[in-house]
Chain A
Amino acid sequence: MRIQTRIIGAAVLVIVSATILFVVYLLRTERANSRGRLRAVMEENETLLMVVTAGPLYDGNVEQLNIALDSFFANPDMVRIVLTELEGDIRISRTREPAAQMGEMITSRVPIKRGIDDLGEIEVTYSTARLEKSLRASRNRVLIFSGALVLGLSSIIYLAVRGVTRPIGRLTVAARDMADGHLEREIDSRGAEELQILGQSFIRLRDTIREKMADLAARNEQLRISEDRLRTVVENTPVVLFALDQSGRFTLSEGKGLAVLGLQPGQIVGQSAYAIYRDSPAALDGVRRALAGEQFSLVAELAGLTLEIWFSPVRNAAGELLGTIGVGTDITERKRAEAELQTAHALLQGVINATQDLIFVKDTSLTFLACNRAFADCLGRSEEQVVGHRDEEWFEDRQILESFRDSDRKVLAEGRQQYIEEWVTYPDGKRVPLETLKSPFYDDDGKLLGLIGISRDISARQRADQARRESEERLRAAIGVSQIGIFDHDQRSDTVYWSPQQRQIYGWGPNEPVSLQDFLDLVHPEDRESVIASVRRAHDPAGDGIWDVEHRIIRRDGSTRWLKQRAQTFFEGTGPARKPVRTIGAVLDITERMTTEEEQQKLVSIIDSSPDFIGIADLGGQLLYVNSSGRNLVGLDNSEEVRSKHISDFLREQDAVLLETEQLPLIHRSGGWTGELALRNFKTGVTIPVEMNAFMIRERSSGRPIALANISRDITERKRVQAEREGLIGELELRNAELERFTYTVSHDLRSPLITMRGFLGYLEKDALTGNLERIKADIGRIIDATDKMDRLLRELLELSRIGRVMNPPEQVPFEQIAQEAAGLVAGRLQERGIRMVIATGMPVVHGDRVRLVEVVQNLLDNAAKFIGSQAAPLIQIGVRGEERNGKPVFFVRDNGIGIDPPYQEKIFGLFEKLDPKSEGTGIGLALVKRIVEVHGGMIWLESEGLGGGSTFCFTLPRKQSAVSNGG
């Protein structure tokens, strides 16, 4: 009700205020409007007055002026109007009483002008009385209207408010009730349409709230049930469930596992985990990591137990870390079981690995799952390298692989064990017989997992089997095939049994009776005595009864056979009563063998007496036999020494390598090798050149190589002769070349002076005709020179040709003596040029043609003097070098003259070679020297450091007693 009153009061107040304001406004506007209108009239009148009056005033037309003023003065609001001429001649006025004693007077002055001249002035006064009067009347009307308006409006508001507030009141009450929890409160929603909608919304709201509450209650119930269930689980499972807040304090500690730790559920809630776990670094570390937000598990030792604890961070919706939840499980028992299992496994593995058998496991795809060491070893790899792989990665032999796969598939397909015996070639090439047992294996549910195989190398067993078989075969062969005869002699009945072979050997008929006497008669007369003696020995009761002899028989057809007999005599009785009762024996015809041996013996003696080295070695090169000539050649004393040697011991190191790498392989390949080699004598160390024919000895029947043999011939003599011949041929070739060179140069150099002579003779004739005496003289000089030169050339050539052909008998001369003699011959020339000469003392004694050797030194001295140049202190030295060359002393003639450029050092010894065309001489001197030295078996060469460096001619000569080659 209060709201209602207030609303109405407020509304009325608003209406009254608005009305008052409206009225005031209206009035004010009205007044302003009336004044405005008045002023507008006044302004209009002023202008009109000026216009209307100006003309008449200027003209002085008073009448006109009066009419004008009257017309203006008709306006009731005008109370006075006065027109005054400037000069004061005309003054017209009108006056009237105002309509009422109210309002005010308003006066305006209007100047009257014509052009720019002021003519006069009109003064007009207005009264507002009339305006005021009409204004007052309208104010009253407004007031009345306003009052009526206020009254009307107020009434309307009152009525309206009364209609609205009644339903709102009811709604308010209902809402208040609902808020107080009285959701059953009904709402009377009569009233305005909007209010009705509002009411209905309230009802819907209430219904929704009711549903939500019911839902919440149901959920709460479920939560309670699940929590109960969880708690039951946690309390009854051997785990520890706990939660920690960020400070590390326990907010939860539940689970049956707590009992093992000696804790009650919830006992440690509120305590710090850092404090409780201070003795377990692992647990402390875990707590720290967990509170850092990590999710993980760890194994910690707590109170003597092994706990595996899972940590998981707890976060709120915003992702902030609130703490951690942990679940701990006691895994002490599990750990122990695991350790036991490992021990057991290791034990098993040890056993599996220790066995020699090959054990392997394959899955159904035939990939290796496991194997033992023995198996892996066979494949030449480690166990880890086997697992995960398959047979085909190692075995290349398709046949073996097929066989493996077949048996594997059979095991897997039929689920039965398989026993296989087969030869297997391992990857390393080894081939062994394997006995393999393959079995399928299953898991607990009976599902086929793969197969287990155990293989055993049965080569030893197979070998034994084979050996037994072979020995049996041999025995059968020996008896059946080979010609062994069997005899049986019963002494008590003195009967003799001969087997068919025995009869054949003896040339005895199949059914012919035979006696001991027959047997003895057949023995070769030369052997009979010893055979009888041996039979007696075998029959002696004191002996062992064994008869073992080789002897000859002469069969009835006259042929001789060699036999080997072996028999055993059996005895009965003791002491003096002991006597032979039976002899059983076998006989073998060894004629062939004996013959072969005889032949072999013959062969050996032939080989042994051969002058060639004949040796036999086994395939490895170890010597078996060397004949006596061979032993002599290499210095071996006996066969024992021979057998201690290897082929390579006979050879020089480089030859032994060749033998190993080239010749032996060649012999193996092609059966033989022939070539020259050098053998070493063990005693003297001297190597002997041999021509060796090495070959392979093969078994006649199979062609299998059994030994190496070689026949080597000492070719020392042949080599020497060959070398000598080659030397002679070489020398001959050298001589030939020399001769060719000789004739060539001779033809050239002998021709030269002839051309000169004939040429200048021609000019001589001409000059004689012209009488040119000077030229005649010069030309004759040239001709004479040319003849001289030719003469010298011929003499020296003759000389040169004599060397080596005509020699004085060689003698022993001290070289110093030769040098002195030569120096004496050239002394004059040396003195002429002021050359000093130094000859060394105590030089070796040489062996040769004294005259020629002097010639050598003389020529060298001449040559040195010729090329001494403009030396200030010319010097020539003759001496001997400290070291020898080719076992001969090296003599030298050294000068300090102009020297010789290296390119010409070889040339200077050539026939007719002259370095300086202007120098005297024929160019034969040094060629001569060279020839003499070489004829004496020496050599000559030049040493010079080039131009200006002087020259040293070095040459070797044989010492005394040494033979002069070709020096006859």
Chain B
Amino acid sequence: MRMRGEPLLILLVEDNPDHAELVRRSLAEHRVVNQIRILTDGQSALEYLFRRGAFSDPASSPRPHLVLLDLRLPRVDGLDVLKAIKQDEELHTIPVVVLTTSETERDVSAAYRHYVNSYLVKPIGYEDFNKLMKDLGFYWLGWNTNPYPEQE
């Protein structure tokens, strides 16, 4: 079990600023997360995770404990970001949870084929959305034992 007080970091990749705000607010309400990092497209997500471009300084891009990933993203698609994370020797242990509006079979199976850790569809309605965020936070950052950070 994770030690209390340790800063927990969620990387949220979401192009819709309204949805990002909803996620941020729900998580903050339930105090399950100390820190949330929001990136609006696939390319900057990759740059952050692989510490390239604007994120080449590791201090500016700490390893997240969880990645919340939308699938339909500008520039680089969410599925491509997932693939890149799961194919990387260092990053593939980070839990990735897809959070999207799409519930088509094609998207779901593609995500699981590329080793997504969980697939969540954004619910329509405040209560459901709020509850999902709460459960998500408790589950991934509370109950779940995360991989121990690798030596950097």
B42 to chain A, nearest CB (A): 10
- Could you tell me which residues of chain B, from 97 to 131, have a CB within 8 Å of some CB in chain A? 100-102, 104, 106, 122-127, 129-130
Instruction: Find out whether the CB atom of B25 lies under 8 angstroms from the CB atom of A763.
Output: yes
Instruction: Find out whether the CB atom of A917 lies under 8 angstroms from the CB atom of B129.
Output: no
Given A744-B104, A748-B101, A756-B19, CB of A762 within 8 Å of CB of B126:
yes
Docked Cα-Cα span, A914 to B106, in Å, equals: 21
Docked Cα-Cα span, A916 to B127, in Å, equals: 31
- Could you tell me which residues of chain B, from 9 to 38, have a CB within 8 Å of some CB in chain A? 15-19, 21-22, 25
| Residues of chain A within 8 A of B74, CB atoms compared | 913-917
Total interface residues in chain B, CB < 8 Å: 27
Instruction: Find out whether the CB atom of B22 lies under 8 angstroms from the CB atom of A760.
Output: yes
Instruction: Find out whether the CB atom of A751 lies under 8 angstroms from the CB atom of B124.
Output: yes
The digit string for B36-56, where 1 denotes a CB below 8 A from any CB of A, is 000011000000000000000
Q: Does B72 contact A (CB under 8 A)?
A: yes
- Could you tell me which residues of chain A, from 632 to 665, have a CB within 8 Å of some CB in chain B? none
Partner of A762, one of B18, B41, B122, B130: B130
Q: Does B4 contact A (CB under 8 A)?
A: no
Among A749, A752, A904, A913, find the residue whose CB has the most chain B CB atoms closer than 10 A.
Answer: A752
Docked Cα-Cα span, A751 to B16, in Å, equals: 12
Instruction: Find out whether the CB atom of B101 lies under 8 angstroms from the CB atom of A915.
Output: no
Q: CB-nearest residue of chain B relative to A766?
A: B126
| Residues of chain A within 8 A of B21, CB atoms compared | 782
Instruction: Find out whether the CB atom of B40 lies under 8 angstroms from the CB atom of A755.
Output: no
Among A748, A755, A913, find the residue whose CB has the most chain B CB atoms closer than 10 A.
Answer: A755
Q: Does A701 contact B (CB under 8 A)?
A: no
| Residues of chain A within 8 A of B19, CB atoms compared | 752, 755-756, 759
B41 to chain A, nearest CB (A): 6
Instruction: Find out whether the CB atom of B125 lies under 8 angstroms from the CB atom of A752.
Output: no
Q: Does A203 contact B (CB under 8 A)?
A: no
Among A759, A760, A782, find the residue whose CB has the most chain B CB atoms closer than 10 A.
Answer: A759
- Could you tell me which residues of chain A, from 722 to 764, have a CB within 8 Å of some CB in chain B? 744, 747-749, 751-752, 754-756, 758-763
Instruction: Find out whether the CB atom of B102 lies under 8 angstroms from the CB atom of A747.
Output: yes
| Residues of chain B within 8 A of A964, CB atoms compared | none
Instruction: Find out whether the CB atom of B75 lies under 8 angstroms from the CB atom of A758.
Output: no
Given A915-B74, A918-B40, CB of A755 within 8 Å of CB of B15:
no
Q: CB-nearest residue of chain B relative to A744?
A: B104
A489 to chain B, nearest CB (A): 103
| Residues of chain B within 8 A of A762, CB atoms compared | 125-127, 129-130
Q: Does A695 contact B (CB under 8 A)?
A: no
Among A747, A915, A917, find the residue whose CB has the most chain B CB atoms closer than 10 A.
Answer: A917
Instruction: Find out whether the CB atom of B124 lies under 8 angstroms from the CB atom of A758.
Output: yes
Q: CB-nearest residue of chain A relative to B122?
A: A755
A-B contact count (CB 8 A): 73
Docked Cα-Cα span, A785 to B15, in Å, equals: 15
Q: CB-nearest residue of chain A relative to B41?
A: A917
Interface of B is mostly: loop
Among A749, A763, A904, find the residue whose CB has the most chain B CB atoms closer than 10 A.
Answer: A763
A913 to chain B, nearest CB (A): 7
Docked Cα-Cα span, A748 to B106, in Å, equals: 13
| Residues of chain B within 8 A of A756, CB atoms compared | 16, 18-19, 22
B18 to chain A, nearest CB (A): 4
Docked Cα-Cα span, A749 to B41, in Å, equals: 16
Docked Cα-Cα span, A308 to B116, in Å, equals: 111
Q: Does A786 contact B (CB under 8 A)?
A: yes
| Residues of chain B within 8 A of A747, CB atoms compared | 101-102, 104
| Residues of chain B within 8 A of A761, CB atoms compared | 126
Instruction: Find out whether the CB atom of A752 lies under 8 angstroms from the CB atom of B22.
Output: no
Instruction: Find out whether the CB atom of A748 lies under 8 angstroms from the CB atom of B22.
Output: no
Interface of A is mostly: helix
Instruction: Find out whether the CB atom of B16 lies under 8 angstroms from the CB atom of A752.
Output: yes
Q: CB-nearest residue of chain A relative to B77?
A: A907
| Residues of chain B within 8 A of A915, CB atoms compared | 74-75
The digit string for A770-792, where 1 denotes a CB below 8 A from any CB of B, is 00000000000010011000000
Q: Does A506 contact B (CB under 8 A)?
A: no
Partner of B102, one of A744, A913, A916, A918: A744
B74 to chain A, nearest CB (A): 5
A756 to chain B, nearest CB (A): 4
Docked Cα-Cα span, A810 to B122, in Å, equals: 45
Partner of A917, one of B22, B40, B122: B40
Among B19, B21, B104, B126, find the residue whose CB has the most chain A CB atoms closer than 10 A.
Answer: B126
Instruction: Find out whether the CB atom of A786 lies under 8 angstroms from the CB atom of B125.
Output: no
Instruction: Find out whether the CB atom of A751 lies under 8 angstroms from the CB atom of B25.
Output: no
Q: CB-nearest residue of chain A relative to B22?
A: A759
Instruction: Find out whether the CB atom of A904 lies under 8 angstroms from the CB atom of B16.
Output: no
Q: CB-nearest residue of chain A relative to B16?
A: A752
Docked Cα-Cα span, A761 to B125, in Å, equals: 8
Q: Does A571 contact B (CB under 8 A)?
A: no
Given A748-B101, A782-B18, CB of A755 within 8 Å of CB of B75:
no
Given A752-B19, A913-B74, CB of A759 within 8 Å of CB of B126:
yes
Docked Cα-Cα span, A439 to B104, in Å, equals: 103
Given A747-B102, A913-B74, A915-B74, CB of A755 within 8 Å of CB of B25:
no
| Residues of chain B within 8 A of A368, CB atoms compared | none
Docked Cα-Cα span, A471 to B19, in Å, equals: 108
The digit string for A883-926, where 1 denotes a CB below 8 A from any CB of B, is 00000000000000000000010000000111111100000000
| Residues of chain A within 8 A of B40, CB atoms compared | 917-918
| Residues of chain B within 8 A of A754, CB atoms compared | 124
Q: CB-nearest residue of chain B relative to A901?
A: B75
Instruction: Find out whether the CB atom of A759 lies under 8 angstroms from the CB atom of B16.
Output: no
| Residues of chain A within 8 A of B16, CB atoms compared | 752, 756, 917
| Residues of chain A within 8 A of B101, CB atoms compared | 747-749, 751-752, 755
Among B17, B73, B75, B127, find the residue whose CB has the most chain A CB atoms closer than 10 A.
Answer: B75
Docked Cα-Cα span, A763 to B25, in Å, equals: 9
Q: CB-nearest residue of chain A relative to B18?
A: A756
Instruction: Find out whether the CB atom of B18 lies under 8 angstroms from the CB atom of A904.
Output: no
Q: CB-nearest residue of chain A relative to B21?
A: A782
The digit string for A59-92, where 1 denotes a CB below 8 A from any CB of B, is 0000000000000000000000000000000000
24 interchain pairs (CB within 8 A)? Answer: A744-B102, A747-B101, A748-B72, A748-B101, A749-B72, A751-B101, A751-B122, A755-B122, A755-B123, A755-B124, A756-B18, A756-B22, A759-B19, A760-B22, A760-B126, A763-B25, A765-B126, A785-B18, A904-B75, A912-B72, A915-B75, A917-B16, A917-B17, A918-B17
If A755-B22, A765-B126 are given as contacts, then 14 extra A-B residue pairs at C-beta distance below 8 Å, sorted by A number, are A744-B104, A751-B122, A755-B19, A755-B129, A756-B19, A758-B125, A758-B126, A759-B129, A762-B125, A763-B25, A782-B21, A917-B41, A917-B74, A918-B17
Please give me the 4 A-B residue pairs with the lowest Cβ-Cβ distance, nearest first: A762-B126, A917-B15, A756-B18, A759-B22
Q: Which residues of A contact B (CB under 8 A)?
A: 744, 747-749, 751-752, 754-756, 758-763, 765, 782, 785-786, 904, 912-918
